[in-house]
Structure formats: C-alpha cells, structure tokens
Homo-oligomer: A and B are copies of this chain.
C-alpha cells in the first residue's frame, strides 16, 4: 500500500536516530507509515525506545497523561477499573498499535505489559504538535480511532447482551480471523495471546466461567488444546459461527 522501503542514496547521511526509524520493524504498521522518510527523521528525534518487561505498568489511570507511544513488539492490556478494584480490559495492543490518549491531561486507563514489550515513546505535547504538521498521519490516526470506536461498540454489544458461550466463541473466532493458521485437515490453529484470567478481564466474566466454557467446547469437539492451554485448535469453526450468529 505504501512504498516506504526506499532509502535515498544521495541525501546527507541520516542521523543514527533516523536510521533507527527507517529500519524499524513495524515502520509500515504504525502511524509512521503515513509520513515521508524526511519527516520521519524529525519525528524520530522526539521519540525514545522504551523496553518494558512483562507485568510492568506503563501508565496508571489517574496519573498525568504525559506520553504516548507506538508499540514495536510485545503485547499490552488497556484496562479501566472501579475504585474497589474490579477491572475491565477495554483493549489489547500489539506490534504497530498506537498507545495513549490524546488531548486529555489525566490518563483514565491503566496500561500494563502482558509480555516483554518494546515501545517507541513520545512526549504527548510533542506528538500532538507533530500531528498538526503531518496531515496524513492525523488522518491515519483518525481512521484508527474510528476503527477502535467501532470495536468498542461491538464489545458493548457483547458485554451488555451476549452470554458467556457467545462471548467466548466471539473471542476465538476473532483471534482466528486475525492470527489463525490453517492446518493440514482444515482445522485452524490459534495462539491465545493471554491467560484465562486476562480473557475473563476482557470478556467481562470470571476465570472459572472462561474455563468451563472452554472445556465445554472441548468436550463438544469444537476446539482442542493438544499442545498446552495457549494453543487452541479450532476443529469445527461452523459450530463457533453458529454460536456467534444464533437463529
């Protein structure tokens, strides 16, 4: 879609920082995909790499909202919580995703690394200014924000109106669509990127309910976990589709 692998050979040698961005593994999956190599150099100067280890909190709800970032690698959860500690995961972030809220001074969400994670972080104020200078990046961010909103709307339907069986089936099919690998015999192999507890946090259920729904699907021969609890094999996606789309 975007031809951004080209590197001009006759321009002045780019700063080391800039080189780093040009070689970035997720260059064309992040918002940076929308800007030219030259402008990337400017943006590059604003960002810094940040390695976060699994379980570490990147942002606490309630803290000053000072930074935003591109996710280089790893996985994070974005969650909202009640004062007494109930947690709802409102989103998951993977390589290429944009992390952070803009235009507000206090973070309302807690972001936690699920795995060791690399970020490319920017001071929020700088990033907002940069947005104004790079219309294509702003447009891309608008498109992504709208897509997130759309996802959030689907999840409201799930959380408000669907039962546990439907939510779990939704989740598995979603994963399969996004990252599923087809196996030899028409089965689909899916790596579940999160624990049962996180699935529960994401789907608005408890750990026990998740487990029971999964074992039910397993005994119904719809899915299987031959190689560990994280490696789900979808044996019969038609059944999952039927659960998701009831008569």
A residues touching B (Cβ–Cβ < 8 Å)?
Answer: 80-84, 86-88, 90-91, 101-104, 108-109, 132, 135, 138-139, 141-143, 145-146, 148-150, 152-157, 159-162, 203-204, 245-247
Contact call B160/A88, Cβ cutoff below 8 A: yes
Distance between A240 CB and nearest chain B CB, rounded to angstroms? 14
Distance between A167 CB and nearest chain B CB, rounded to angstroms? 10
Report the nearest B residue to A84, measured CB to CB.
B246
Contacts A103-B146, A246-B82, A246-B83 given; indicate if A159 touches B162 (C-beta within 8 A).
no
Chain B residues whose C-beta falls within 8 Å of the C-beta of A145 in the assembled complex = 142, 145-146, 149
22 contacts between A and B (CB under 8 A): A82-B161, A82-B246, A83-B247, A87-B161, A88-B156, A88-B157, A90-B153, A90-B156, A102-B143, A103-B146, A108-B154, A132-B139, A135-B135, A135-B138, A138-B139, A138-B142, A142-B142, A145-B149, A152-B152, A152-B153, A152-B156, A156-B204
Contact call A103/B156, Cβ cutoff below 8 A: no
- How many copies of this chain does the complex contain? 2
> What is the CA–CA distance of A245 and B88 in the complex, to the nearest angstrom?
16
Chain B residues whose C-beta falls within 8 Å of the C-beta of A84 in the assembled complex = 246-247
Contact of A161 among B88, B101, B108 (CB under 8 A): B88
> What is the CA–CA distance of A75 and B96 in the complex, to the nearest angstrom?
38
Distance between A124 CB and nearest chain B CB, rounded to angstroms? 12
Distance between A166 CB and nearest chain B CB, rounded to angstroms? 8
Chain B residues whose C-beta falls within 8 Å of the C-beta of A103 in the assembled complex = 143, 146
Distance between A58 CB and nearest chain B CB, rounded to angstroms? 16
> What is the CA–CA distance of A246 and B149 in the complex, to the nearest angstrom?
28
Chain B residues whose C-beta falls within 8 Å of the C-beta of A88 in the assembled complex = 156-157, 160-161
Chain B residues whose C-beta falls within 8 Å of the C-beta of A154 in the assembled complex = 80, 108
Chain B residues whose C-beta falls within 8 Å of the C-beta of A143 in the assembled complex = 102-103
> What is the CA–CA distance of A125 and B103 in the complex, to the nearest angstrom?
27
Contact of A153 among B83, B109, B132, B204 (CB under 8 A): B109
Contact call A82/B149, Cβ cutoff below 8 A: no
Contact call A80/B142, Cβ cutoff below 8 A: no
